[in-house]
Each structure stands twice: as structure tokens, then as C-alpha cells.
A = this chain, B = another copy of it.
Amino acid sequence: MAVVVTRIERTAADIAKRAAALGVATIHEAQGRRGLMAAHLRPIYRPALIAGPAVTCEVAPGDNWMIHVAVEQCRPGDILVVTPTSPCDDGYFGDLLATSLQAAGVVGLVIDAGVRDIASLTEMRFPVWSKTVCAQGTVKETLGNVNTPIVCAGTPVAPGDLVVADDDGVVVVRRAEAGAVLDKADARRANEEDKRKRFEAGELGLDIYGFRPRLAAKGLRYIESLDEL
């Protein structure tokens, strides 16, 4: 299979905007701790924070040809999500491709492989979450897919799904569930703000969350010294 799917349904821009205000950890919690990409994906500069619909791209190891194909499918606000068909640390992406994506209005790149030209990318403020940094270039010989469902860093991504990336990592929310998940995330955020005030005032989580009885029931012992054991 080597196809480019040219019509995809995208998560709406207002949803993406809300998501960017909430961040990865909160959204991940709100959707039941699903959809988190593996922790080896790290931003090339910090702080960085983006949200938008995914354009997916599957590439061969050491071959970035399909990224050029994918650029044409991108729309303003999109996030390009790239995964190799087998693990590869080569530098698939540099400042020229970033220039092209930026010209297309793409807000960032998520790639389970290497990137290069990171000094330029940082200066351009084009955020990238990658597995590594590597100057090794790639070839343009083998086809792959654009806008098919993929697994990136252990997590399924369908074209148009909501992707949120910040200093903590990258989370994916299915397009159809994005609205409901953000509603839960908003509620969670509000609850957290309330909790934060209480923590700032010196209240303990033990009391805020009412942990003491269950800790006791499980058998936690408070002692003054290990000699008491």
C-alpha cells in the first residue's frame, strides 16, 4: 500500500485552541489516561505548546520522501505526525522542510525519528517533538502513506485527530471524542485550580483528598523510630 488520502475530517480549530490552553497532562487525564505517545518524544526547545489536527505520514527507515508528499496535504493549523515503518534515528527533517510547513501554516511536527538543523528550527520558532537529534540525511526512494491511520510512538493516530504537544510530551485525542474530552479537561482544570489554592494555603493532599482513612485501613503505621518495628 502506498496511498495519499486527500480528504480528511479535521478536528475543528476552536477545539484545538481550547486544547492548547489545557496542555498534555490535563487532557491525558481527562480522557482516561489514553493516547499518550511514548516519553522518548521530546521538544527540541522549551517551552513549546501546540494543538491541532493530525496529518499523518508513514515513511521508510532512512527515507523522507513521503514528508514532501505530506506537505501538500497540510492546511493551516495542522500538525504533521510522522512515523517510520521501523525504528530509525536519522535526521528526516530540517530547516527547508520547516520553511515549507511554516509557509503552509502548519504549527509543528511530531516525529518518532531524528531531526536536524535544530538551531535554525529554534530560531524560526518551529516546534518539533522528536526521538532524537541527528544530522544524518535520508534518501528519497521508497513510498509510504499519507493520511492513513498510523501508530506513532506506541499510540494510534488517525488523520484529523487532535494532537496536543507541550513540554511534557504528546497526546492524541480521537476527533470524534475531542469535544467531550475537552469538557472533562475544563472541569478537571477548574477543580485543579481550586485544589491549587488550598495547597498554596498549606493544606495537605492527605486532607484535601481524604486519604487518611484508607491509608489506615490498608495498614499504614506511623512510628517515631524504626526501633518500634
Binding site for B on A (CB under 8 A): 1-7, 23-25, 28-29, 32-33, 36, 38-39, 42, 46-47, 49, 60-63, 65, 68-69, 71-72, 85-91, 94-97, 99-100, 103-104, 114, 116-119, 122, 132-137, 139-143, 148, 151, 154-156, 166-169, 171, 192, 195-196, 199-202, 204-206, 209, 211, 215, 218-226, 229
Q: Which residues of the other chain, B, contact A61 by a CB distance below 8 angstroms? A: 61-62, 88, 90
Q: Which residues of the other chain, B, contact A167 by a CB distance below 8 angstroms? A: 118-119, 122, 133
Residue of B nearest to A42 (CB): B133
Q: Are B33 and A206 in contact (CB under 8 A)?
A: no
Residue of B nearest to A63 (CB): B62
Q: Are A143 and B103 in contact (CB under 8 A)?
A: no
Q: Are B141 and A139 in contact (CB under 8 A)?
A: yes
Nearest chain B CB to A26 CB, angstrom units: 9
Q: Are B1 and A200 in contact (CB under 8 A)?
A: no
Q: Which residues of the other chain, B, contact A33 by a CB distance below 8 angstroms? A: 85, 136-137
Q: Are B62 and A62 in contact (CB under 8 A)?
A: yes
Q: Which residues of the other chain, B, contact A211 by a CB distance below 8 angstroms? A: 65, 68-69, 140
Q: Are A39 and B168 in contact (CB under 8 A)?
A: no
